[in-house]
Amino acid sequence: MRIAVVGATGMVGQVMLRVLAERQFPVSELLPVASERSVGKEIEFNGSTYKVISLEDAVAARPDIALFSAGGGTSLEWAPKFAEAGTTVIDNSSAWRMDSTKKLVVPEINATDLTANDKIIANPNCSTIQMVMALAPLHKKYGAKRVVVSTYQSITGTGVKAVRQLENEYAGVKDEMAYPYPIHRNALPHCDVFEENGYTKEEMKLVRETQKIVDKHIAVTATAVRIPVVGGHSEAVNIQFENDFKLNEVRGLLNDTPGITVQDNPDTNTYPMPAFAEGKNEVFVGRIRRDESQPNTLNMWIVADNLRKGAATNAVQIAEYLMEHKLV
């Protein structure tokens, strides 16, 4: 497969390259793509060196698949150009997620919806992916009515500038800031920009994307918080179901779901944490317990590396599905 990675020099793009190598994706030709200022730079992949090329040159090369992680503006402008050239685009930005003509895909949940005609495929938001991974099998069994989620999100979700801000604050250095306030020894209830309804864009992504992927009738409300952590996003999730459940059955159902690892033993202090999730592709679920304040309601704690399953790994898994089913 001839693969372009658009945004290859960025944080997610670099992880995409690592995941492609780790999963031994059959790359016959790699086209690393980035902005004009990065053209000509060299990157390493699978023991070889490649020069970064421009978007124009990448479109002209007509790769089989283009993995996009270069921001919404770039995706809106360039994804259709790749698609017109016959390339299948898997886009990690928010540009196409809520477009009714585009599929929003988590392979373990809805990859079977994909066809050869889907030339632009949207990768969901990182915080959405890890939540729906656990929600989807439980919804299928018990019928989810309402979800209340609070997120505790890694600074890597913001990008390199945020990582530098935290490192500078650790070192007592004043420099450019990614956030309106310090992040070291702090928690900011402010992920992305605020919308007119008082929720942030990140919070509304959780609402809209969950409904598009799992079920439009599930009521979802979210609070997204940025914390000084690097390894991954954590979520406290409360789900009210139509039908009652048994906790052991819930644990078994989650354990049997590909891509999920249950870590849930209070006796041994076993529960998911970003420190353990970093660098891993699974979604980790623990603190599974009843909400004793109302019937048919479950509490869970969900953690995943937001650069992996929350972005790069999910995109590569989509590419694997397309290749396996000869859709590209």
Confidence of residue 97 (pLDDT cuts 50, 70, 90): very high
Residue with tokens 């409904």: 211
- Is 126 an active-site residue? yes
Sketch the domain layout of the chain as residue ranges.
2-123+311-324, 127-306
Q: What is the H or E stretch that residue 233 is in?
A: strand 233-241
Give residue 258's pLDDT. Answer: 97
Whether the CB-CB separation of 159 and 178 falls below 8 Å is answered with yes
Please state, as a whole number, how many other Cβ atoms lie within 10 Å of the Cβ of residue 327.
15
pLDDT of residue 322: 98
The CATH code belonging to domain 2-123+311-324 is 3.40.50.720
CATH number for domain 127-306, candidates 3.30.70.20, 3.40.630.30, 3.50.50.60, 3.30.360.10: 3.30.360.10
What is the share, in percent, of the chain residues with pLDDT greater than 90? 99
Q: 273, 118, 324, 142: which is closest to 218 by C-alpha?
A: 142
Do residues 313 and 281 make contact, with C-beta atoms less than 8 angstroms apart?
A: yes
Quote the radius of gyration of the chain (alpha carbons, Å).
Answer: 20
Q: How confident is the model at residue 90 (pLDDT cuts 50, 70, 90)?
A: very high
DSSP string, 51-81: E-B-HHHHHHH--SEEEE-S-HHHHHHHHHH
Classify 121 as helix, strand or coil: strand
Interval 215-267: pLDDT, tens:
999 999 999 999 999 999 999 999 999 999 999 999 999 999 999 999 999 99
Task: List the one residue out of 4, 264, 278 whose CA is nearest residue 134.
Answer: 264
Q: Which among 139, 190, 217, 233 is annotated as catalytic? A: 233
CA dihedral 33, 113, 250, 260 (to 10 degrees): -20
Q: Are 96 and 75 in contact (CB under 8 A)?
A: yes
pLDDT at 194: 98
Q: ∠ CA(106), CA(325), CA(307), 5° rounding?
A: 30
pLDDT digits (tens, 9 = 90+) for 48-73: 999 999 999 999 999 999 999 999 99
- Residue type for position 306: N
Tell me if residue 191 is catalytic. no
Q: What is the pLDDT of residue 77?
A: 97
Assigned token pair, 38: 């990065």
Reported as a single tens digit per residue, the pLDDT across 164-210 is: 999 999 999 999 999 999 999 999 999 999 999 999 999 999 999 99
Considering the entire predicted model, what is its pTM?
0.97
d(CA 236, CA 251): 16
Question: What length does the chain have?
Answer: 328
Q: 32 forms bridges with which residues in the sheet?
A: 5
